[in-house]
């Protein structure tokens, strides 16, 4: 029976050790949860104090950039329209000048050609 008493003592020691291990695991779990809660509180605090104002500033800058780019786009379209309009006017003016020059010079060219033919005819009779 003495062997049975030793076995019971060893089983009691193992049971006590298991209980201590269980308490240690539970304590580590509670400690981990508390540490997680503190870290998340710090992260949330940093986000509220640092990240949120920075994001607000970045969003304001992006809004300003959007407004400026819209204005630049509108102005570029306006300038493009003005240039096209001016080019159309220049083309129209060039066409008018060309047709007026042709109309006026065609009369002069007709007179010169007629005079040339008349001179050639006169000179051919004389020769």
**82-111: per-residue pLDDT in tens?**
999 999 899 889 888 888 888 778 888 888
Please report which confidence band the pLDDT of residue 41 belongs to, taking 50, 70 and 90 as the band edges: very high
pLDDT in tens, 53-90: 888 899 999 999 999 999 999 999 999 999 999 998 99
User: Which two three-digit tokens encode residue 114?
Assistant: 């007629």
- On the question of pLDDT at 1 being above 60, the answer is no
pLDDT band at 3 (very low <50, low <70, confident <90, very high): low
| CA dihedral of residues 27, 33, 36, 40 (deg, nearest 10) | -150
Q: Is 24 exposed, middle or buried (0-12, 13-18, 19+ CB in 10 A)?
A: exposed
Report how far residue 100's alpha carbon sits from residue 92's, in angstroms, rounded to the nearest whole number.
12
Q: How confident is the model at residue 2 (pLDDT cuts 50, 70, 90)?
A: low
């Amino acid at each position: 029976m003495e062997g049975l008493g030793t076995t019971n003592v060893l089983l009691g020691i193992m049971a006590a050790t298991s209980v201590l291990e269980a308490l240690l695991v539970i304590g580590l779990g509670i400690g981990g949860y508390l540490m997680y809660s503190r870290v998340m509180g710090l992260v949330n605090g940093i986000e509220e104090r640092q990240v949120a104002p920075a994001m607000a500033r970045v969003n304001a800058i992006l809004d300003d950039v959007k407004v400026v780019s819209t204005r630049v786009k509108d102005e570029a379209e306006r300038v493009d329209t003005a240039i096209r309009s001016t080019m159309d006017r220049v083309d129209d003016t060039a066409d008018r000048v060309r047709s007026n020059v042709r109309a006026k010079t065609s009369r002069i060219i007709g007179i010169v050609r007629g005079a040339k033919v008349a001179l050639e005819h006169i000179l051919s009779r004389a020769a």
